[in-house]
Structure formats: structure tokens, C-alpha cells
Amino acid sequence: MSAKQSPEELKRIFEKYAAKEGDPDQLSKEELRLLIQAEFPNLLKGPSTLDDLFKELDKNGDGEVSFEEFQVFIKKISQ
């Protein structure tokens, strides 16, 4: 997957992982891990950890990542 995907494609990928457990409109930390490992395998190959990334993405602190929060992340990594 590239960060240059269409909004529809990004939504489809998000929903594919969000539907694995719990709320189908939110990513849990485990779902985010699976998405990153499969779609962005080089993203966490540095000092950044999944915990750091999850904290950064979960802007409202509800313990899950919404599609809107995910979109901010995609925009950030595509710059």
C-alpha cells in the first residue's frame, strides 16, 4: 500500500483491519499493528514503536484510532 491511495481505497483498507475485533469503525492497538505490518512494513523499523505511534494517532485518548485519526497519519507519512 502506498500513502498515495485514493480516499476510498484507504477507507477499504482501514475497514478491513478495523473489522477484526470490537468496533468496526475503530482500530484497536492490535488492529493497527496488523495494518502497519501488512501495509507499511518499513514504518516501525526505527526508534519509533507501536506504542508511540498509537499514542500519537489516538488524539482523543479513547484507546482506539478512528478513520479520521488514521487519515491524519496517512497524510503525515505521505509528505
User: Tell me: the pLDDT tens digits for 4-59?
Assistant: 678 899 999 999 999 988 888 999 999 999 998 898 887 776 666 888 889 989 98
Q: Cell triple for residue 31?
A: 488492529
Other beta carbons within 10 angstroms of residue 73's beta carbon come to 18
- Model confidence, pTM: 0.82
| Mean pLDDT to the nearest integer, 57-77 | 89
Buried b (16+ CB within 10 A) or exposed e, 5-24: eeeeebeebbeebbeeeeee
Q: Which CATH architecture has domain 7-77?
A: Orthogonal Bundle (1.10)
58 touches 64 (CB < 8 A): yes
Instruction: List the chain domain ranges.
Output: 7-77
